[in-house]
Amino acid sequence: MLADRATSDAVAVVADGESWTGRELIRRSAGAADLLDAAGAPEGRPVAALLSSTPSAFALAIGAAATRRGLAPLGPKLTLAELAPIVAALDGEVIVADSASAALAEEVGRSAGRRVVTIDAVPESSRPLTFDIDPDCAAAVLHTSGTTGMPKPVAYRQDRLAARTRVNADLVGLGPGALYASASPFHHIAGIGMLFVALGSGAALLSMPRFDLDAWDALAARGATHVLIVPTMIEMLLEAGRFSLPGLQVLQYGAASIHPDTLARALDAMPGVRFVNIFGQTEGSPITCLTTDDHARAAAGRPDLLSSVGRAAPGVEVRIDHPDAEGVGEVVARAEHLFKPDDDGWLRTGDLGRLDGEGYLHLSGRRGDKIIRGGENVYPMEVENVLAQHPGVAEACVFGVADRVWGEIVAVAVVLTDPSAILDAAELRSFARERLASFKVPTLWEQVEALPRNTTGKVLRRELVGRHAVT
């Protein structure tokens, strides 16, 4: 998919003050491979990396993949204690880092026994890169977010990555002429994973090392046509009155659902822009997709669709394993582009959900998040979705607290839309009771300034659980 770029003079990468053609990108990727050779990174082994989304990082990713190394990007916001065991578990010898993460990389290198090389720029090289690579070779190694333990490595095989590129590019309309930017960190599947998809589809990449209002505005000047952000960013841009982005064709989002009111405001600010929500995980994506047509239906009178993550993506089988009386069970998927299926070919996601009569998947939380109150099952995401409909609630995280009488009771941490307001638990309890069975309504209410999150933005429910003793 990348071989044609080696002879292309079409723009492939755009950043502050510079742009590279496809020919220049591949020559820089060859230069990156030369730097990895000089650093003593053995072929056939992954290269740990602490990088942001810059052109040099893109070149390193391609150069590593083309020389059978496979970049293993990690979160630069993680601590030494978190990074060292991950790097030590990788069968590699080298860590590459940019200047911003060089000091941390040196600490990790000393702890894990790895050499460190700092790379901020990559030279061009005439070295020929081969694109004839074994299908089972790892193009990259990504790690799960580690919300319940140490992150686990996931090898992104060449053949499965190619299959993912075809499916994903079709869902978001990526191809030659498109200019793509992702606001997700480089080490995330929505970062390097989607950058591979964009390059493989023939689209050009826009470097976006960070997300803020100025970085968003700069996308318009550079001609962005496709952008990936998360709903909290959409809310922030709308509140600032800076959501409109001339030239944008497709807005892809993920990690959370979008509120019907937010969608209405967003469509009003950018009429004609196509919205797409893709559900997946590091181990495999896309699994389901809420398409542009689904968003149009939601805006036209089916807001309930926005509480789902859409229907199975093309070529994906989705089923619910061991559903309970309400149809909720583990979401299981099978497709050629999923990276870490079990031996039987099915990826067991660890996510709980149900399929409705139209085939839309409604998530209920993680398998370990289910609360059992007096023998009744309570799924946190269901309660959170209801509370999110209250105008005074910005975010809510529902969790179980051990109880001698009920086994567990339902608790919730709430972030209010007005930080100066005081939580009115009675009002919110009444609001929830009108929409939920009584056993699902939280007993314990806690007001917090912000929910605890990991470096990929996922809420750390276990930290909230840990703050509460047996009642």
CA distance 66 to 351: 34
Amino acid at 116: V
CATH class of 3-194: alpha beta
Q: For position 471, what pLDDT does the model report?
A: 41
Helices (H), 371-437: 380-387, 425-433
Encode 5-40: b = buried (16+ Cβ within 10 Å), e = exposed. Answer: bbebeebbbbbeeebbbbbbbbbbbbbbbbbbeebe
The strands making up 226-229's β-sheet, listed across from edge to edge, are 18-21, 11-15, 204-206, 179-182, 226-229, 250-253, 274-281, 284-290, 311-312
Q: Is the dihedral of CA 7, 11, 14, 16 positive or negative?
A: positive
CA distance 364 to 304: 15
Q: Are 464 and 399 in contact (CB under 8 A)?
A: yes
Q: For position 470, what pLDDT does the model report?
A: 45
**Could you give the angle at the alpha carbon of 383 between the alpha carbons of 375 and 407, nearest 5°?**
25
Q: 3-state SS of the chain: helix, strand, coil percent to 5?
A: 35, 25, 40
The strands making up 153-157's β-sheet, listed across from edge to edge, are 115-118, 94-97, 47-50, 71-73, 138-143, 153-157
Distance of CA 241 to the CA centre of its chain: 25
State the fold for domain 230-367.
Rossmann fold (3.40.50)
In whole angstroms, how far apart are CA 155 and each of 32, 143, 253, 346?
Answer: 21, 9, 24, 16
Q: For position 113, what pLDDT does the model report?
A: 95
CATH class of 370-466: alpha beta
Q: Are 71 and 61 in contact (CB under 8 A)?
A: yes
Q: Are 332 and 348 in contact (CB under 8 A)?
A: yes
pLDDT tens string, the chain, 471 residues long: the values are 999 999 999 999 999 888 999 999 999 999 999 999 999 999 999 999 999 999 999 999 999 999 999 999 998 888 898 899 999 999 999 999 999 999 999 999 999 999 999 999 999 999 999 888 999 999 999 998 755 567 899 999 999 999 999 999 999 999 999 999 999 889 999 999 999 999 999 999 999 988 999 999 999 989 999 999 988 789 889 999 999 999 999 999 987 788 888 999 999 999 999 999 999 999 999 999 999 999 999 999 999 999 899 999 999 999 999 998 889 999 999 999 999 999 999 999 998 899 999 999 998 877 778 888 887 778 888 899 899 999 999 999 999 988 877 878 999 999 999 999 999 999 999 999 998 888 899 999 999 999 988 766 678 887 888 777 544
Amino acid at 235: E
Intervals of CATH 3.30.300.30 along the chain: 370-466
> How large is the C-alpha radius of gyration of the chain?
23
| DSSP letter assigned to residue 4 | G
CA distance 155 to 136: 9
Intervals of CATH 3.40.50.12780 along the chain: 3-194, 230-367
